[in-house]
Chain A
Amino acid sequence: MGNKPISGALGKPIKRRDILKGAGLIGMAGVFPAILTRSAFAADKPTVVNSIRSLSNPYHATWNKGGAAFAKSVGADYVTLVTEGNSEKGIADIKAILAKTGGNAVINVDPNDSPDARAIVEAAKAAGAYVVTQWNKPADLHPWDFDPNYVAHISFSGVPYGKAMAETLIKKMGGKGGIVALGGIESNVPAIERKKGLMEALAANPDVKLLDYQVANWSATEALDKTNAWLTQFGDQITGIWAANDDMALAAVEALRADGRAGKVPVTGVDGIQLAVEAIQKGELAGTVAWDPYWQGGMGLAIGYAAKTGVFDPAEEPKDHREFYGKGVIITEENADTYYAENIAAEPKMDWNDIWGRVSGQIQYD
Chain B
Amino acid sequence: MTLDASISSQAAKPAPRRRWRIASWAPLIVLVLLCGLITLINPNFLTFGNMVRISQAAMIPLVLGLGATFIILMGSIDLSVEGGLTLSAVILSMLVLNGANSNTFGLFGVLIVLLVGAGVGFANGVIHVRLKIPSFMVTLGMWFVGVGAANALLGGMAIRINDPMIRGLAIERFLGFPWGVWLALFCLLVALVIQNYTRLGRYIYALGGGEDLAALSGIPVGRVRILTFTLAGVFYAVGGVLAAAQLGLGNAQIGNGRLFTTVTAVVVGGTALSGGQGSVLQTLVGVLIVVVLSNGMVLMGVPPSVQIGVQGLMIIAAVALSIDRKRMRIVK
A contacts, CB < 8 Å to B? 54-58, 60-61, 64, 183, 186, 212-215, 219-222, 224-226, 228-233, 235, 247, 250-251, 254, 257-258, 273-275, 278
Does B218 sit at the interface, judged by CB under 8 A?
no
B252 at the interface (CB under 8 A from A): yes
Q: Is the CB of A233 within 8 A of B299?
A: yes
5 contacts between A and B (CB under 8 A): A221-B256, A224-B247, A225-B294, A232-B50, A257-B171
Q: 10 tightest CB-CB pairs across the interface, nearest first?
A: A61-B156, A229-B298, A215-B304, A232-B50, A56-B252, A228-B53, A56-B151, A55-B156, A229-B295, A225-B57
In the complex, which residues of chain A have a beta carbon less than 8 angstroms from the beta carbon of B158? 58, 273-275
| Chain A residues closer than 8 Å to B42, beta-carbon distance | 233
Q: A225-B57, A254-B248 are in contact. Are A212 and B151 (CB under 8 A)?
A: no
B contact residues, range = 35 or more
- B147 & A56 in contact (Cβ 8 Å cutoff): yes
Closest to A213 in B: B304
Residue of B nearest to A231 (CB): B53
Q: A212-B298, A232-B49, A257-B171 are in contact. List 16 more A-B contacts (CB 8 A).
A: A56-B147, A56-B156, A56-B253, A219-B256, A221-B243, A221-B247, A221-B254, A228-B56, A229-B295, A231-B49, A232-B45, A232-B50, A232-B299, A233-B298, A258-B170, A275-B249
Of chain A, the residue at the smallest CB distance from B243 is A221
- B305 on the interface (CB 8 Å rule)? yes
B246 contacts A by Cβ under 8 Å:
yes
Q: Is the CB of A60 within 8 A of B44?
A: no
Kindly state whether residue B257 has any CB partner on chain A within 8 Å: yes
A220 / chain B contacts, CB cutoff of 8 Å: 247, 253-254
| Complex interface: chain B residues within 8 A of A258 (CB) | 56, 170-171, 178, 246
Which residues of chain A come closer than 8 Å to B257, judged between CB atoms? Answer: 219, 221-222
B242-263 interface code vs A (CB 8 A; 1 in, 0 out): 0100111101111011100000
Task: Kindly identify which residue among A57, A64, A221, A229 contacts B299, using a CB–CB cutoff of 8 Å.
Answer: A229
Closest A residue by C-beta to B155: A61
Contact of B304 among A183, A247, A251, A278 (CB under 8 A): A183
**CB-CB nearest in chain B for A220:** B247
Determine if B99 is an interface residue (Cβ-Cβ < 8 Å).
Answer: yes
Query: Closest B-chain residue to A251, C-beta based?
Result: B247
- Whole-angstrom CA separation of A254 from B170 in the bound complex: 9
B57 near A186: Cβ-Cβ < 8 Å: no
A186 to chain B, nearest CB (A): 6
Q: What residues of chain B lie closer than 8 Å to A254, measured between beta carbons?
A: 170, 246-248
Instruction: List, in ascending order, chain A residues with CB within 8 A of B147's CB.
Output: 56
**Chain A minimum-CB-distance residue to B53:** A228
Across the interface, which residues of B come within 8 angstroms of A224, CB to CB? Answer: 57, 246-247
Interface 0/1 of B139-181, CB less than 8 Å to A: 0000000010001000111101000000000110000001000
Q: Is the CB of B298 within 8 A of A214?
A: yes
User: Which B residues, 276 to 330, have Cβ-Cβ distances below 8 Å to chain A?
Assistant: 294-295, 298-299, 301, 304-305
B243 surroundings in chain A (CB, below 8 A): 221
In chain B, residues 30-66, which have Cβ atoms closer than 8 Å to a Cβ of chain A?
42, 44-45, 47, 49-50, 53, 56-57
